[in-house]
Amino acid sequence: MSATFLIAAQLGTAGILSSALVWVFARQMRLGICLLLLPGLIGELTRQNELGVDVGHLTFSLSDVVVACAAIVLIGRLVLRRIHVSLSVLALGGLLALSAGSMFQGMAEFGLETAANECRPYAHFLIASLYIATAGAGVRTEILRFGAKAWCVLAVTYALVCICRWWATGITSANDYVIDDGTLVTARPLFAAGALVICQATLLLITMRWQTLRCRILVGGLLLTVILLQHRTVWIATAVAIVAYLLLGRAARTDRFSVAGAAVFTGVIAFIGLSLFSLGSVKEELLSSYSAMQGTHSTFAWRVTGWNELLAEKATFQGTMFGRPFGTGYQRLIDGSLVTVSPHNFYVQTFLRLGITGIALLFGLYLWTLLALRSGSRADLLGRLILLTQLTFCAAYSPSTEQGVALGLVLWQLSRTQSSGERRKPFIQRKLDENRTQTPLAKPYAHTHHVGDHRENGGPWQLTGLRTFEPEGEQHASDDHCAR
């Protein structure tokens, strides 16, 4: 009786707290974003992926609680038809529906706990994205500015955590382990998800706030932190994003040399620090982490072997199209040893659990969003960079709840712009429209030369600013090309 009473009391307390959290998620968007980011921060501070509470035979983490509250709000929006339907929302909804169906099938075959544990990364990422992406036009635009500030504050907090832990244990190789509170943990002070947050905050500052000296100093410090964290996948994601910034940043052309200078500046500072300030051992540790990426016994080769083993398993037509249910596991043999952990590749994992349909929806979501963010504005450029870092990160890890928040903010901005009719025309047509509004009206002239596409109705390649006046007395028989 006492055990039953204790469980009932726990469930009652959880119900009251959940009701309060649901109200917060429904009415206070900013607090909702903070609550979605909070479990990741606590996990980095405690060096635990999840902090859980046992209720009966089940374990509920803090992420489970906040995501469940966001899901309730999402269901309410769906029932009340307060969701602006777009292709991105449909793709996210399709992925969530496939994940739910696979989880329910897994619950019937393997039990609730086994199926839920495998489905958890998908649920957290997709629900966080949909919660923000479907917020609707009623949310004020300041939510984007708040999200950017929260991201930068989170990144700086992570950087300070790194400094404190490096001060206590020193900077070691990514292959080493240390003892923290009696537990053997990796020597890297942050998980890969935290390192990616720092990378994305750096890109945000470069894209939106590069003009100030204080911002440039902060960018250099954050880039150096990303290097010293020794997460090789985040290294690659950072390099891909910086190259994309230099290639795609039409609105930031004047900053290209500045960004290149910042990268050189960071590299020089890192080299001087490693060479002159008694950090020679750190240089060896960085080289050791880099060498771990190569060779037949590298971590990358170990992962590729596991991917091949998982993909080589025969599956039915239904399994190929819609995947096997959550809870099936990822057992494979690598060098004669049985490995059961996740594949360390979100794409392989999605194919195994959601099939070709899930992979098509995932890539379709990112491809459509990248193409829709086609303007030269800094906000669209930043959105593209965030998506590219996520695509690179998913080659080795599953996206976290924080990445769901980032994707949701990008999709909400895109949806708000499209619904208000502000989605940009093609680049050349926008420039022509700007020239028309800025050029004062001139006297009527006889003829206009058209360069490119000779369409009478003014196609996107018609340059109307090139004018030539004809001698007096000459007229054209047709008025199609006369100035109006």
Q: Per residue in 389-428, pLDDT tens?
A: 999 999 999 999 999 999 999 998 887 776 655 544 444 4
In this predicted structure, what is the pLDDT of residue 179?
A: 59
Give the pLDDT mean for 16-29. Answer: 88
Token look-up 């459509």 returns: 368
How many domains in the chain? 2
Q: Which residue has the higher pLDDT, 380 or 5?
A: 380
Give domain status of residue 473, yes or no.
no
Give domain status of residue 310, yes or no.
yes
pLDDT-based confidence at residue 311 (cuts at 50, 70, 90): confident
Check whether residue 434 and residue 363 sit in a common domain.
no
Q: Which two tokens stand for residue 246?
A: 């230099």
C-alpha distance from residue 105 to each of 60, 94, 101, 357 (Å): 21, 17, 6, 17
Check whether residue 317 and residue 456 sit in a common domain.
no
CA–CA gap between residue 462 and residue 191 (Å, rounded): 52
In this predicted structure, what is the pLDDT of residue 226?
A: 92
DSSP 40: H
Contacts (Cβ under 8 Å, ≥6 apart) of 437: none
Average pLDDT, the chain: 77
Instruction: Indicate whether 382 pLDDT > 70.
Output: yes
Check whether residue 286 and residue 388 sit in a common domain.
yes
Give domain status of residue 134, yes or no.
yes
Give domain status of residue 481, yes or no.
no
CA–CA gap between residue 160 and residue 454 (Å, rounded): 60
Give domain status of residue 483, yes or no.
no
Give the pLDDT mean for 326-348. Answer: 87
Check whether residue 435 and residue 290 sit in a common domain.
no
Check whether residue 228 and residue 359 sit in a common domain.
yes
Give domain status of residue 459, yes or no.
yes
Check whether residue 353 and residue 451 sit in a common domain.
no
pLDDT digits (tens, 9 = 90+) for 101-147: 999 999 999 988 889 889 999 999 999 999 999 886 556 667 888 99
Q: Which two tokens stand for residue 132?
A: 């923000």
Phi, psi of 5 (to 5 degrees): -65, -40
* H or E stretch at 178: strand 177-180
DSSP 468: E
Give domain status of residue 63, yes or no.
yes
C-alpha distance from residue 197 to each of 98, 150, 272, 287 (Å): 28, 11, 26, 24
Answer positive or negative: Cα dihedral of 106, 110, 111, 113.
Answer: negative
Check whether residue 366 and residue 448 sit in a common domain.
no
Give domain status of residue 69, yes or no.
yes
Check whether residue 362 and residue 442 sit in a common domain.
no
Cα 55 off chain centre by: 32
Token look-up 């769901």 returns: 404
CA–CA gap between residue 387 and residue 379 (Å, rounded): 13
C-alpha distance from residue 459 to each of 377, 415, 437, 463 (Å): 23, 26, 17, 9
Q: Which residue has the higher pLDDT, 205 or 478?
A: 205
Check whether residue 130 and residue 169 sit in a common domain.
yes
Check whether residue 169 and residue 249 sit in a common domain.
yes
Give the pLDDT mean for 85-96. Answer: 90
Check whether residue 70 and residue 173 sit in a common domain.
yes
Check whether residue 297 and residue 222 sit in a common domain.
yes
Domain that holds residue 80: 2-419
**Residues shown for the chain:** 484
- 8 A C-beta contact, residue 61 and residue 421: no
In this predicted structure, what is the pLDDT of residue 298?
A: 61
CA–CA gap between residue 219 and residue 207 (Å, rounded): 11
- 8 A C-beta contact, residue 481 and residue 447: yes
pLDDT-based confidence at residue 315 (cuts at 50, 70, 90): confident
